[in-house]
Amino acid sequence: MTAQVLNGGEVAEKIKQGVASRVRELEQRGIKPGLAAVIVGDDPASKVYVGSKVKTCQALGLSSEKFELPATTTTEQLEALVDELNRRDEIDGILVQLPLPSQIETRRILEAVDPAKDVDGFHAVNVGHLVRGEETLVACTPAGIIELLDHYQIPIAGAHAVVVGRSDIVGKPMSLLLLHRNATVTICHSRTRDLPAITRQADILIAAIGRTAMITGDFVREGAVVVDVGMNKATTREEIERIFAEADRPKRMEDLNKRGYTLVGDVEPRTVIGKASWFTPVPGGVGPLTIAMLMKNTLRAAESRKGEKKG
């Protein structure tokens, strides 16, 4: 068996096309969804992420504003900006790029965002709605994974889903979304005893633990669907030879020589692809879905705030 690819890029394009179409409809009624992206400090990765989000807004017809604050910004200063954005009616979604500098109280900032504009789905109000299975703004990566599974018609109801990782951003909301779709859900983490014995029970295995190629073929049941949320870097030839099958190594070595690393998830492709029925590659699997779902959440926030319902 060789696993089939769950192509996140393809599904993300479909989501974005749907968003662009709906944005054009709203524009005819004088409504233009707007996203405010806030970045604090000079972290290069954060700048790339925010730049990509702003660029995608422009491509889909949403308005966007970027706010870049110095690394010395205080919690109070950032909170004041969030308060201002909460009051601006043309702003439907507020994104505060994480991680924030250590002197800023991250939870306080996330809770300062108006829940109606919380397009990251991190506010306690939206998390509470998610727990109860109510319509709400949901964290983008887990919501994107559900869209991915639906696109490829992978049955969720009745499946045993094992989620490895319990973060507020992926693991917990992912578990709740699967539960609301009638999966039987097991959540694993760093303290789980005999992790491979549990993950081998999974029909759907979600790897979101943040450890390079930790999930090997020994963790995977024959025919399982494997979704890799990890985004790590392999920086040596030895790592590449261990993680990737021989056919994949030339491209990975090219990445290593050019950039000093190649991207790899939490799953070891070399040993997993031969056992899984479906898998998400890294890059090109889950990653593209996160920005697409941010656009969809911004659209949904605008519809909700402006009293628009899709016909």
Q: What is the CA radius of gyration of the chain?
A: 20
* pLDDT above 80 (res 21): yes
Does the pLDDT of residue 209 top 90, yes or no? yes
Shared-domain flag, residues 196 and 241: yes
Residues 194, 250 share a domain = yes
Give the model's pLDDT for residue 1.
Answer: 67
By residue range, what is the domain housing residue 187?
140-288
* Percentage of residues in the chain having pLDDT higher than 90: 94
Q: Which pLDDT score, from 0 to 100, does residue 311 have?
A: 43
Query: What average pLDDT does the chain have?
Result: 95
Q: What is the DSSP string of 56-93?
A: HHHHHT-EEEEEEE-TT--HHHHHHHHHHHHH-TT--E
Check 16, 53, 275, 296 and give the catalytic one: 53
Q: What is the pLDDT of residue 43?
A: 86
Residue 155's nearest CA partner among 223, 216, 229 is 223
Residue 134 scores a pLDDT above 80: yes
Could you tell me if 110 and 158 lie in one domain?
Answer: no
Residue 25 pLDDT > 90, yes or no? Answer: yes
43 counts as catalytic: no
H or E stretch at 288: helix 287-305
Q: Is residue 20 predicted with pLDDT exceeding 50?
A: yes
Residue at 155 is within a domain = yes
Considering the domain architecture, whether residues 183 and 240 belong to the same structural domain is answered as yes
Q: Which residue's entry shows tokens 């308005």?
A: 63
Active-site residue flag, 233: no
17 labelled catalytic? no
Q: Which of 92, 114, 118, 120 is catalytic?
A: 120
Mean pLDDT in residue range 173-182:
98
38-63 per-position pLDDT tens digit: 999 988 888 888 999 999 999 999 99
- Mapping DSSP onto H, E and C, the string for 198-266 reads HHCCCCEEEECCCCCCCECHHHCCCCCEEEECCCEEECCHHHHHHHCCHHHHHHHHHHHHHHCCEEECC
State the pTM of this model.
Answer: 0.95
Query: Domain tally for the chain?
Result: 2
pLDDT of residue 100: 95
Of 97, 118, 275, 296, the catalytic one is 97
**In this model, does residue 308 exceed pLDDT 80?**
no
Give the pLDDT score at 2.
82
CATH number of 204's domain: 3.40.50.720
* Inside any domain, residue 309: no
144 and 101 in a common domain: no
pLDDT grade for 309, boundaries at 50, 70 and 90: low
Counting every residue written for the chain, the total comes to 311
Q: Which two tokens stand for residue 295?
A: 């656009």
